Amino acid sequence: MASEDGGIPEKMDAIVCYGIKDYRWEVVDVPKIEAGEILTKVLAVGICAGDAKCYAGAMLFWGDKDREAYCQPPIIPGHEFICQVVQLGDGAAEKTGLAIGDHCISEQIVPCWECRYCKRGAYHMCIPHNIYGFRQPTPGAMASYMKFPAGSITHKVPKEIPAWQAAYIEPLACSLHAVERGDIQFSHVVVVSGCGPLGLGMVAGAKQKNPALLIALDMFDWKLDIARQCGADVVLNPGKCNIVEEVKKLTDGYGCDVYIEATGHPSSVKQGLLMIARLGTFVEYSVFGSETTVDWTIIGDTKELNIHGGHLGPGTYPKAISMLQKKELPMDKIISHQLPLKDVVQGIDMVNKSSESIKVVLLPTGK
């Protein structure tokens, strides 16, 4: 087993989720690793909208009459992170190509590699679905150190990407997967609804597909300004115009060919179904705080739409890393806030309000 010089402490600071709106700053044991595992020092960790909605009590995480709770407290949250290797279990270096001191990331899900989804190559659909920061086998990155289990999927990250930017690799990988689910063609008009961290990554990813027209929607004009920097051809604020009419005006009355929903708000779903063209593709990639009701007749009997869900970022991490390395996004605008780890609740509140932030990153070192 290889370790960095200077030794590894026995204890560390961490945020621990105990329940809805019950996140605590504690001192806990530094994880111990076994063969094939990797111990890392956390350099930066982002607050996902999913983290914020988990904190607020969204049904996906805490269950309802139709499904069990996904979150398994007490658990250290955090699945958007960048780390530095400090210890390698036997065989881990040979398997991953990582060395002590490397910057690295583990994809947010640790697959079992035994279920039917893993065996089919769809590891992002794995059951039991152990995502860092929610499940007992996979504590997350809101701590000084974290462990990558033997089954994890790891990527080396160039050190030239600053840690506060590299924490965006995971959400960008998710954004790129959503873009791929849209099956964007050169002739398409594409609409991305929502210009938060995911939506801006979707705009940047969609731009690289070279659609005929790329439209970004958001309720905040300052976020739309950043969407332009990410590649949007047209930006529209639904609070200031009839968004369905405006999109139809831009498309000779047909509507958009691809609509990517990234807000998690019911109104965005309805407007998307109204503005999308016949035979269009609707991509849903967000976590909702409550149920959404729409007239599903429009999907089948009226427009014969393709409805595609999107989850995680399978196969897209290398592209996400490359885009950051090449400075293809305005990261100084997307990473709007950097806070010390202890201010996690303040950061979560900022994410849930969304009016003054895009991506909030926590720094366990406080630097």
Question: How are beta strands 359-363 and 335-340 bridged, if at all?
Answer: parallel
Dist. CA 211–CA 228, nearest whole Å: 15
Confidence (pLDDT) at 366: 58
| 215-264 pLDDT tens trace | 999 999 999 999 999 999 999 999 999 999 999 999 999 999 999 999 99
- Confidence category of residue 7, pLDDT binned at 50, 70, 90: confident
Identify the residue whose tokens are 């020092």: 41
Is the separation of the CB atoms in 268 and 288 below 8 Å?
Answer: no
* HEC assignment per residue over 22-63: EEEEEEEECCCCCCCCEEEEEEEEECCHHHHHHHHCCHHHHC
Amino acid identity of residue 349, one-letter, is: D
Confidence (pLDDT) at 4: 67
Identify the residue whose tokens are 């958001």: 218
Confidence (pLDDT) at 367: 45
Amino acid identity of residue 6, one-letter, is: G
Mean pLDDT, residues 142-167 taken together: 98
Identify the residue whose tokens are 């076994």: 34
Adjacent-strand bridge partners of 338: 361
Alpha carbon distances (Å) from 60 to 167, 289, 294: 24, 8, 19
Torsion angles phi and psi, residue 257, rounded to 5? -85, -35
Adjacent-strand bridge partners of 355: none
In sign, the C-alpha dihedral spanning 170, 146, 162, 99 is negative
Query: What does the mean pLDDT of the chain come to?
Result: 96
Mean pLDDT, residues 131-139 taken together: 98
Question: How are beta strands 80-88 and 38-46 bridged, if at all?
Answer: antiparallel
Confidence (pLDDT) at 335: 98
**pTM attached to this predicted model:** 0.96
Residue 127 per-residue DSSP state: S
Name the nearest CA neighbour of 235 among 221, 245, 248, 249: 221
Mean pLDDT, residues 339-344 taken together: 96
